[in-house]
Every structure is written in C-alpha cells, then in structure tokens.
A = this chain, B = another copy of it.
Amino acid sequence: MKSITLFLFALIAIIAIVNGQSPNIVPLPQSLNYGSTSVSVNPAAFKIATTSSSTLLGVAIKRYQGLFFLFDGAVQTAPALTLNVQVASDNEDLYLGVDESYTIVANTGSLTLSANTVFGAMRGLETFAQLISYDPIGNAYSIPYTPIKIVDSPRFPWRGFMVDSARHFLPKNFILHIIDALGFNKFNVLHWHLVDAVSFSVQSTTYPNLTKAAYFPTAIYTHDDIEEVVAYAKTYGIRVIPEFDIPGHTGSWGVGYPELLASCPNYAANVNNLALNPSLPYTYNFLQNLFAEMTTVFPDEYFHVGGDEVVFGCWQEDPSIVQWMNNNNFNLVDVEQYFEDQLDTILGTLNRTKLMWNDPFQNGVNIKPGTLIQIWDSYSIVQQIVDAGFKALVSTTWYLDKQDPANNIHYEWQDTWRDFYAADPYNNITTNQDNIIGGEACMWAEQVHQLNWDVRVWPRSIAIAERLWSDQSVNNPVTALPRIEQYTCLLGNRGVASGPLMPDFCYMSNDFSGPLVKAIDPLPKHLIKKILGKN
C-alpha cells in the first residue's frame, strides 16, 4: 500500500541531515575542497564585513545575516567571527554574461568571500549560508569541514525561470517570494510571462484600457510594482525579462482595444485562437508605443515577444487581412515574416534584443541575426537552431506543469525531478553546442496560483538549477538525492514550501507556522477531555 521505491534512507538520513558527511552545497560548486575541523559559530557574535559601498551588496549582506541563522536562541559561547566580503568592483550593471564567479576560503579563524563583482559576491553569500550547520539537539551553529576552499562560477550565463502570471494572477508580494527562491537556487533570469489570451494585468499609462482584461480591479501590476520586482530581483543578481506574447495569445488585448485583433468569429469561441491583426499600421504603432512604455520599467537588453502557436486560421478568416495578403502577394509565412520584421524595427528603436519562442524559426521565417531563440518542444529543433547560427535557450523537458514532462513514468510524481536533472541542454546536440547559452524552467500556470506554486516548482527545480550552474559531469541522481534533500529542508526553513524526496525528518523552527500548520480553532484542554468523556 505504499511506494515501492523509497524507504531505504530514513534512519540514516536523520543523522545525515543533522550533520552530513561533506559540505552540502546546491548547486554543486565547480571546485570544493574541505577538511574535517568543525568551527563553532556564535550567531550573536558573527559579522559580515565589507569595504564595498554597493547598495545592492549591502542589501544582500543584510539579508544573509538573517539567513545564516534561522533558529533563535542558539548557544552563544563560541568566539566572534567575521566573514570578510571583498569585491574587485562596485559596478552594479547587471547584464547577460556578468561575472558571477566567487571564491570562499574558510579556516578556523578566518572567513573570506572574494568576487570580481557584487553579483559574484551574492552567489558566494548563498553558498556560505549553506556551509553553516545547525544542530537542533545541541541548539548550536557550526561550520563543519574546515578548512574549506571553494572556487566557483556558473556553467551557463542564462539560468532562467519562466513565471506565468497570466493564467493566474500572482500578487506582487508573491513574485518577490518567487525571486527569493530563485536567488537561493542561483537562477539569474526571471522570464515574466506577463500577459496571455486570458488576462492582461500590466498597467499601461499609454493604453489604460488594456487592464480591462485584468481578472480583478486590484489584480494589476502597476509601474511601481514592476519597479519593485526589478529592483528586488537585482539584489539577487536576477535580470527580469518581460514577455509580451504576440501575435497569438492576444485575446485579452482585444477586450480594451478590439481593433487590434483579426476578426475571426468562427475561431473566437476559444480565446486562444485570437491573434493581432498584422495588416494594420495601427497594430505596429500600438506595439511601438506600448513597448516604449514598458522599456521604462524593464531595463534589460532582452525583450521577449513570444511568437508561439499563432492560429493562422484566424487571419485567414478576416476578409480585410486576406485582401491585404492578396494585394501584397503574401502567403501565411510571408505574413509572419512581415510581422516579425516590423517587430525587429520596433525593438531596434528601443535598443532591445529580441527573444522569442522557436515557432517562427520552424515556420520558415527568416530570423534576424542576433535574435535569441527559446526552444520548448524538442532537442532536434535545438540542433537546427544552433546550426543556423542562433544563440539558444533550452526549455525542453523542463515544463513543470506537465504530468510526465519527459514521457517517463515514475512511481511518485515528484520523482520527475530525475528527468529534469537528466535533461542536459547539450543532450543530443552534436555541433555548435556553444550557441546554447543556457535554459529556462517553465511554470505554466493554468493550474497554479500562489497557494500551490511553491510545491509544484520545488524541490523539482533544484535539479534544473544545478543542471544550469554546475559542471556537466555533475549528473548522478544517486549522489544528488541526499544533497538536494538536505537543501529542500533549508528552503523550507526559509519559507519556501518545498516538499521532500524521501522519508526523513526536516527540523523546522516553531516560528515556522503559516496558515498551513495550524488548526482553525484548537480545542482548550478541558473541552478535549469533556468531548472524550474523560473528565
């Protein structure tokens, strides 16, 4: 009556979680050397010091000062310690390829984190947090396994996570919570799938009627909200890339601006069939103005314009579009080409680099050189795209919504983490691997909102985070399992609702008592006895 596969580790795991056999770091660093000396840590006499004047690094240091010591009231007998954080530059520019390397040296009396950039220092702070161990029996902190030397840097410069706030609106505070968890996992791109056929929740001052398609009057991201998200993400070294998915998936745009959409009544029963009208200058003028507004709040060089799953039948049903096609001697690929060419012009005026899904490439559209292409459906398309000279992001088999993301059945649903872990971006890619600059996990949100988001994403995406950061050779799920399991407990204690992957015990602070761990109305003692007839 129970799972066939998992049971072996429990009693061993209890001990391992209290005190593992090696530093437990996720994602695994490129180089890790350690000894066997445990250094006691007094949380009341622990400082993080830096000569950097970076605001970003200051925020990160303040955050980790809290994250280093999650459990209150621990023993305070050990001598004072200071982690010295040294950065070569205080430059706060965040961009694709920014240096994220760092080095940690931890000896008995000396703790040093050094990095070229503030973003490398942030990565190192997370790693250092994972070096600190808490023993709930003795109620004491320590850094076991010193002397430690870690030299680390990411395998891929684009380690993305796609958040869909269109199928369900995610409150701004929940987006910040997502960023916390992404930062812990060393993801560095939040790909924000902001709008889709079913809702448009982004405030536009230029086109205020767009948010007529918001789910609720307060279910809107204002410019202030977006700025807070972008700034908060930056304190984790996370770039925020907006996606405005066009020309398909735009039914919601038509709620406030019907003239934007092609007219295809026979397709309209399914809002996902609707598409922008590619024949009108109005459409491109609208996009120019809207995107110009959006670049004021989304500073990153990259701008995602979707391009997936256009239902061409909708275009073909609109007589004015057919007329326009005939006038220009356009077939459907020509129309898509025309649309993408106009988009290239618009993005050019805004100094943005286009990021798009793989569909137009597959349809035969000539893609502008320099365009970054995200592949969602198969490894074979990845190969074609990199061979055509394009940089690529891989999301293949990293669809967190699917019941069987890699067409493998495990006994338990959560074991799909093994498929994510095995899905290396280089799998089946024989040439031009260097054109793959990273990948993205995708949490499509048809069946996800803030109450179940964490559990759908974690711990499974830990596997993706490690795949994108650690060396390609770090691919053994047997050795990864206990490491990920221990990390999932840490995430839990930080407030991320990450489930376990095997029977064990995760010690949680008494303070960790959200809405999930309390009764609505507990009974007083006398009533318990009375109800049981025992008084």
Which A residues form the contact surface with B (CB < 8 A)?
1-3, 6-8, 10-11, 14, 55-56, 59, 62-63, 66-67, 92, 136-137, 164, 166-169, 171, 173-174, 176-177, 179-180, 196-199, 213, 215-217, 219, 227-228, 230-232, 234-235, 249, 255, 269-272, 299, 306, 308-309, 357, 376, 395, 401-404, 409-416, 442, 444-456, 492, 494-495, 497-508, 512-523, 527-532, 534
Q: A2-B196, A271-B7, A498-B451 are in contact. Are A512 and B515 (CB under 8 A)?
A: yes
Cross-chain contact B446 with A7 (CB below 8 angstroms) = yes
Cross-chain contact B414 with A447 (CB below 8 angstroms) = yes
Q: Which chain B residue lies CB-closest to A2?
A: B444
Contacts of A376 in B (CB 8 A): 1
Q: Which chain B residue lies CB-closest to A495?
A: B515
A231 to B529, CA, bound (A): 8
Cross-chain contact A499 with B449 (CB below 8 angstroms) = yes
Q: A232-B528, A497-B516 are in contact. List 9 more A-B contacts (CB 8 A).
A: A1-B308, A1-B442, A174-B516, A227-B528, A231-B532, A232-B522, A403-B410, A455-B456, A514-B516
Q: A271-B7, A446-B6, A455-B451 are in contact. Are A520 and B502 (CB under 8 A)?
A: no
Q: A173-B517, A270-B7 are in contact. Are A505 and B219 (CB under 8 A)?
A: yes
Cross-chain contact B507 with A216 (CB below 8 angstroms) = yes
What are 28 A-B interface contacts by the 8 Å CB criterion? A1-B442, A2-B446, A6-B447, A7-B167, A7-B271, A55-B531, A59-B523, A173-B518, A174-B517, A176-B519, A177-B517, A199-B503, A228-B523, A231-B527, A232-B523, A401-B412, A402-B412, A403-B412, A448-B499, A450-B508, A451-B498, A452-B500, A455-B455, A455-B456, A495-B515, A497-B515, A512-B515, A516-B516
A207 to B495, CA, bound (A): 37
Cross-chain contact B1 with A309 (CB below 8 angstroms) = yes
Query: Lowest 5 A-B CB distances belong to which pairs?
Result: A514-B514, A452-B499, A176-B519, A215-B505, A10-B198
